[in-house]
Amino acid sequence: MNKIFFLIALCLLMSCKQTVITGFQDKPVVESYLYADESPTVKVSKLIPFTSDMSLSDMDVNKLSVDITDVTSGKKYTLSSTGNGVYANSTLTISSGKTYVLSFPYNGQVVSATTVAPAKPQNMTLSASNISIAQRGSTGTGGFSDMPDPIQINWTNDDGSFYFIYVKNVESVKVPIDTKSPNAKDFFRNQPISASSYELNPRSFQFYGQHRIILYKIEPEYVLFFQENSSSSLSISEIKANVINGLGIFTAVSSVSAYLYVGKP
């Protein structure tokens, strides 16, 4: 479930981005997020130009020799194609603290990337397990002036690692806090930070009910990826976070979660 929320956050981060390609080179686009205690998957796609006068190689993204090497043991694992450019290997389980190297040949070059699987965030706490927010809109009389105090999230960060927080309403039936807000979203997130605390603004919650608060520990290449994607019109097919001879990202994340209930006064 953590993986689902993480991928939703990334997809939303990368939405509404337009790709403008200049000086086109036929390079693969890598997208892979490793999770501790799970098997890896890697997606490889082609960088497609918008003009017809640029030629592509005959490389088939479903017929690549994709490997991930566990640097600690030196063992190399070959991933099998599952279709649509996705590769997997169920015999490899990602372990926190280990370094992993992705590699595969493409168009006469070796594409590679390295990441370290981070340990899970430690000692995550919330200042409250529930808050009350008055309903607004046609059926409510509440307003922003009577909002509860922010929710303080704390965790241990002795080494200055990067984190980000993703909050998702997990109710099957969504009851809006503002009944006049037809485009309310049932999730929100913050920017990556190298801190040990963060305050959730009650105004960010747009639905009542149980919310899952996920604290992700991320690697520097994802911070770079996030910053480039957030501050420009670049899509994943234009970002080279840590992929040599290719584009995209190969990174690892870990997470812990807690729950917060938003109710009516």
Would you give the DSSP letter of residue 63?
Answer: S
Give the pLDDT score at 101: 98
| Residue where the block lists tokens 């529930």 | 130
Predicted confidence pLDDT, tens digits, the chain (265 residues): 667 666 656 555 544 444 444 455 678 999 999 998 999 999 999 876 655 555 667 789 999 999 999 999 999 999 999 999 999 999 999 999 999 999 999 989 999 999 999 999 999 999 999 999 999 876 555 556 678 999 999 999 999 999 999 999 999 999 999 998 888 999 999 999 999 999 999 999 999 999 999 999 999 999 988 776 655 445 555 666 799 999 999 999 999 999 999 999 9
Q: Number of C-alpha atoms within 13 angstroms, CB side, residue 70?
A: 16
Give the pLDDT score at 12: 52
Q: Tell me which residue of 75, 87, 84 sits closest to 111, measured CA to CA.
A: 87
Give the pLDDT score at 19: 41
Give the pLDDT score at 233: 47
Give the pLDDT score at 15: 46
Give the pLDDT score at 212: 98
* Contact of 206 with 177, CB cutoff 8 Å: yes
DSSP string for 117-161? -PPPPEEEEES-SEEE---BSTT----GGGPPPPEEEEEE-TT--
Give me 102's structure tokens.
């992705």
Give the pLDDT score at 235: 55
Q: Tell me which residue of 174, 230, 226, 164 sits closest to 205, measured CA to CA.
A: 174
Q: Does domain 122-217+257-263 have CATH number 1.20.5?
A: no
Give the pLDDT score at 46: 86
